[in-house]
Structure formats: C-alpha cells, structure tokens
Structure 1
C-alpha cells in the first residue's frame, strides 16, 4: 500500500516536537523525577525511564526480523485504512478526555472495554487481522531485545512503597491493561497509521495517544506538567513497544512485555510475603 510520505514526515515532526517540548518543560521546571505507578507516589528519574527503552530499541533494531508477515491491508482501499486510523485515534482522544472527566474506577473499566467493543461493533477493526499472524521465526529473534528491556528496567527499578499484588489482581490488570491497550493502540491503531504514514510517525503518534490517558491517574503537578511527565515516561516506553511490534510483528510478545511493565519481575518475588 502506498505510504503518504509528506504527510508522514509532518506527522513525525509534530510528534517529535511534542516529545521535545515535554522534556524541555520538565527539565526547566526541575520536575525530572517521574511517578511510575498510579498505586503510589514513588518516582524515578528520566534516565531510568529511557535506558530500558533505549536498550530494547537498539537490540530490536540490531536483530534482523523474521519472515515478513502478510500485509493485512493489501486489499483494503487506502481511503478506508486512513478513515479507520483516524477514527481509532479519535476514540483514543475521547478515552483520554473521558478518564479525566468521569470519576470512579467503574467508569474507567467501562471506558477501557469500549476501546475494544466500539471498533469491533463499528467495523473499524477485527481481532483476526493480527491474531492470525504467522509468528514462526518471530519468537526467538526479538527475545534478546525483550530481555534487555526487562533486565535494565528491573535493575533500575527503585524499591516500591506500594503493596504487592496478588495473582488474581495481576491477571485482571494484565487483561485490562496489557491485552486491551496493546490490541487497540499497537495492533489496530499503529498498524493502520504505519500503512498510511510510515513506521516512526505511526509509532510516535500511537505512543503519545497511549501515554496521554495516564495523565488522569498519575497527576499531581498540574495538567501541563502531568502531561509532559507521561509523555516522557509512558510515551518513551511506548516507543519501545511500538518499535518491537513494527519490526518483529509478534503480538503475544508485545503483550507479555506490557504485562511485565505493569507487574515488574521484582513484584513476583514478594507475592504471598
């Protein structure tokens, strides 16, 4: 499918400007210690956020991908892919705004489920388009990149004052966050944006939209700086997740990495303790 390179360049530059503005705002205001969980107010530095993502991206780039998967949009008109991509992006924006406006955890769960149900009901996306990807040759190849990300993140993870989660809670968090978010932001939204605007503009925009909703649950500095903080934190992590998906096209591996981000390896050692 033909890629709109000029528009992709503009999209990529716009996203890069947002990342740069967020980082500059945090540095100039001295707010470089970022909250990394909605469950407590512990923080970590910009460097400890960026190093795992940088290590993962570098190895994911260095490793040659396996056999290229079939293009899920080869037989789909360009106009339809473009329309689907921006409808999904609009839904992502609506979700981020609604999380701010509607109080209570009940609304949050319903809104998260809507990210899956609305595109399916409206026909903007299907579960089969990525679930039937042949992952042979795309499991072991990207594994060093995943292990590098996990190892560096675990090494740099500060001691947490939060309560260790039980296995049932971890399973619920895994489905609501890792599964639903990766299906929506990476497998549906990013893949369509890639087909129309190129890989890095798609990764950057999808990561920004994914990061934006975290402002509502990891705030405390006021909206402008809270927004900058999640861009510098979740947004950068999203760049790794997006690149892992774009280069190696293994949906299960990306979901697993997201799950480990929400429930770090160090947490499992405290279960039942």
Structure 2
C-alpha cells in the first residue's frame, strides 16, 4: 500500500509538469547516447539535489520546530515562505522561460516564487496531516523531474 501511495504522489507531481513530455519524447527519440546520459542525470538530480534535502530541511526540521513555537498555521506559512525565498537567487540570476527571466524581479516572483510558495503550503499541509516525509519527497521529486530533464536536454518551455 505504501508503495502505491508513493508512486501516486510521484506521478501526480509528474502530471503537474506534463507539458514537457512531448518535447522530451521528441528529443530522446532523435538523440544518441549523450541524450540518454543527460536524461538519466536529469532523472536523478531532482531527487538527490532537491526533493530529499529540501523536504528534510523545510518540513521535517524547520516546519516541525516552527509549529512547536508558533503553531501549525504560522509554521506552515513561514517554512513555505523561506522555501520559496531559497529559490529566488538562482532564478533571479539564471531563469528563462516559464520560471521567469533572469534579472526581472516581477517575472521571477510570478513564475517561480509564487508557485513554489503554493507548493510549499501544500507540502506543509501534507506534512502536518501525515508526518510522512516519503510522501513529500515523492511529490516534490515528481514535480521537479520533468523540468530537470528538460533543462539538461536544453528544452525551453
């Protein structure tokens, strides 16, 4: 049952960014070994570089402590705000496409910070309800997988 729930969370996250699928499939179909290497790296990076460390820190460590001090609602809100803020510097310097344009604060706020904040609220509510870090990691990993693959395959949305 647990594996089914985790797979469901992962594939729900994939579904949120499914607009990347057609172009990823096209690039893979026409690519060689380097394309497959980039695909594999793009598949693994969001798990080890984002989903696992960010969920352990922002939900398991930070939100749990903020909830104890300030209550659940403020703990979720503040940890989500910090989670979104963490994504600002890299996007401000490097973003292009759907996540905003580098150097354009408004586009970064609307293309990255607001959506990441909303996802942070959702992940925070899931943490509050279930206290199961694996659910959060699976969902976060699913959300980040296709954009990561697309980025490494140089697909701009």
Judge same fold: TM > 0.5, yes or no: yes
- Contact kept, 8 Å, 1:174 with 1:259, in 2: the verdict is yes
Cα displacement (A) at 1:211: 0.8
Residues in 1 aligned to 2:14 and 2:43: alpha-carbon distance in whole angstroms: 20
Question: Partner residue of 1:176?
Answer: 49
Question: Partner residue of 1:199?
Answer: 72
TM-score of the two chains, using structure 1 as the length reference: 0.39
Residues in 2 aligned to 1:148 and 1:176: alpha-carbon distance in whole angstroms: 19
Residues in 1 aligned to 2:79 and 2:61: alpha-carbon distance in whole angstroms: 10
Cα displacement (A) at 1:253: 1.5
Structure 2, unaligned stretches of length 5 or more?
28-34, 93-100
Q: Is 1:230 the counterpart of 2:112 in the alignment?
A: yes
Bigger Rg, structure 1 or 2: 1
Counterpart pick for 1:257 among 133, 139, 148: 139
Question: Partner residue of 1:32?
Answer: none
Q: 1:144 to 1:261 in 2, by over 3 A?
A: closer
Question: Partner residue of 2:126?
Answer: 244
Question: Partner residue of 2:97?
Answer: none
Structure 1, unaligned stretches of length 5 or more?
1-136
Cα displacement (A) at 1:217: 2.7
Question: Partner residue of 2:31?
Answer: none
Residues in 1 aligned to 2:8 and 2:42: alpha-carbon distance in whole angstroms: 27
Question: For this pair of structures, how many residues does the alignment match?
Answer: 129
Relative to its length, the structure with more helix (as a share) is 2
Residues in 2 aligned to 1:249 and 1:258: alpha-carbon distance in whole angstroms: 15
**Partner SS for 1:201:** helix
- Contact kept, 8 Å, 1:212 with 1:227, in 2: the verdict is no
Q: Residues 86-113 of structure 1: CA distance to partner in whole angstroms, max 9, x if unpaired?
A: xxxxxxxxxxxxxxxxxxxxxxxxxxxx
Q: 1:144 to 1:172 in 2, by over 3 A?
A: closer
Residues in 1 aligned to 2:8 and 2:125: alpha-carbon distance in whole angstroms: 11
Residues in 2 aligned to 1:148 and 1:230: alpha-carbon distance in whole angstroms: 21
- Contact kept, 8 Å, 1:215 with 1:223, in 2: the verdict is no
Counterpart pick for 1:158 among 4, 14, 19: 19
- Contact kept, 8 Å, 2:88 with 2:113, in 1: the verdict is no
TM-score of the two chains, using structure 2 as the length reference: 0.64
| Structure with larger RCO (C-alpha < 8 A, sep 6+) | 2
**Partner SS for 1:218:** helix
